[in-house]
Structure 1
């Protein structure tokens, strides 16, 4: 069963904590419930995007540095 991770707020989605850092997670990684998979930035405020369930990250649907809106699917976990 797949779980979709959605954006809670509008903003720019980033897969890395900083431009010179490694991504929080990659497709194929096993992740835990509550694990940070990215951040959404709006007006210099950063909100962590966390997995709601444990599993394997199968896809990112939001582009790194791309705009997301509330309810947009960011990633899928199986």
Structure 2
């Protein structure tokens, strides 16, 4: 199985859930479908959904909820 990086398309703040009281989009070892939303990046109150381009299993979470990220930074890895 190949590893696929999910990267931030822009700099901002990464969120692993849609709101502070909601469950995370994905957890470690979760199975995701291609196109599934796995997080959000916020820039100036604008939220961009981050999706998985491939189906597979989340094997690494590299950024915590609410952590600043740079464009091109790897957020998580999917084995698929």
TM-score scaled by structure 1? Answer: 0.97
* CA drift at 1:69: 0.7
Matched ranges for 1:34-73 at <5 A: 34-73=35-74
Cα RMSD of the aligned pairs, angstroms, is 0.5
Aligned to 2:13: 12
**CA offsets per residue over residues 51-71 of structure 1, 9 Å max, x none?**
011100011111210011110
> What is the number of equivalent residue pairs in this alignment?
78
Aligned to 1:75: 76
Superposed structure 1 runs of 4+ greater than 6 Å apart = none
